[in-house]
Amino acid sequence: MASPSRRLQTKPVITCLKSVLLIYTFIFWITGVILLTVGVWGKVSLDIYFSLLNENATNVPYVLIGTGAVIILLGTFGCFATCRGSTWMLKLYAMFLSLIFLIELIAAIVGLVFRHEIKSSFEHGYQQALQKYNSTGDAQSQAVDTIQRTLHCCGVTTYSNWGGTPYYNTHGIPMSCCRLPDNCTEADMKDLVKAKDKVFPQGCIFFMDCPSSAGINHMLPGSGVARGQWGHVPLGALQPGAPGAAALPLAWVPPASCEIAEFT
């Protein structure tokens, strides 16, 4: 049997290890909450984007919600096992942690490897949506309009992509491409040359290619600034006649792989 002094030395060590494990388990539990929140947010806010991808992509929010829920349950179980000091519970918890870590590692690798396929899937889905676009308000047409208005983009790679669609032959470019809806007429939208100065120049796939500079011409809600590749610039400084306007160009040049983004 261990001596009293030995037990006194061991008890602080065990207490310290328990505290460390509880902190780690709490962090693990928080990641579960984050995944669950992102999954719910993705389902509510990004469902319209997923609708343009293949059917499997629409399951992504559910995967995040399920993973987050499992992690929350395991984190709760881990806290309970640590507080009770049950050996078999801690071993079971360690096994589950190892399994989840392995699954997350595989998921990260798969996401990295197939990121180009995800972009291609979005591009193909968006091209198909443009070809099937109509003014009757079906789900895909609404998705296209929402994406173009929200991201300030038009077409797949450029606004002129609309010129090869059945919708353009009868109606022209959709009004969701207009920079200023009041400044666009039906005649303008039926002429690619006239429409050039009235619609968003970037195609929507631009935001998949250049995520870091995707917000250059996109006004952040309530922020009063335009997001750019190199920081934040007050929009007022970019208006003609404003102080410092002469020293600032009306367009920034993103990296060579991206298109030029103009302020509107």
The pLDDT tens digits of the residues spanning 97-136 come to 888 888 878 878 877 877 777 777 778 888 888 888 886 6
Exposure string of 22-51, with b = 16+ CB inside 10 Å and e = fewer, is eeebeebbebbeebbebbeebbeeeebbbb
- How much is the pLDDT for 162? 93
Report the alpha-carbon distance of residue 165 to residue 155 in Å, rounded. 10
Question: Considering the entire predicted model, what is its pTM?
Answer: 0.56
And the tokens for 14? 């065990």
User: What are the boundaries of each domain within the chain?
Assistant: 4-113, 117-195, 210-262
Residues above pLDDT 90, as percent of the chain:
8
- How much is the pLDDT for 56? 60
- How much is the pLDDT for 244? 37
Kind of pairing, strands 231-234 and 225-228?
A: antiparallel
Residue tagged 């290619």 (tokens)? 209
pLDDT tier at 217, thresholds 50, 70, 90: very low
262 has which bridge partners? 251
Question: First vs last Cα of the chain: how many Å apart?
Answer: 80
More confident residue, 58 or 205: 205
The pLDDT tens digits of the residues spanning 143-199 come to 888 888 888 899 988 899 998 899 998 889 999 999 988 888 888 898 898 888 899
- How much is the pLDDT for 229? 36
H or E segment and range at residue 252? strand 251-252
Mean pLDDT of the chain: 73
Which CATH code of 1.10.8, 1.10.3210, 3.30.70, 1.10.1450 fits the domain covering 117-195? 1.10.1450
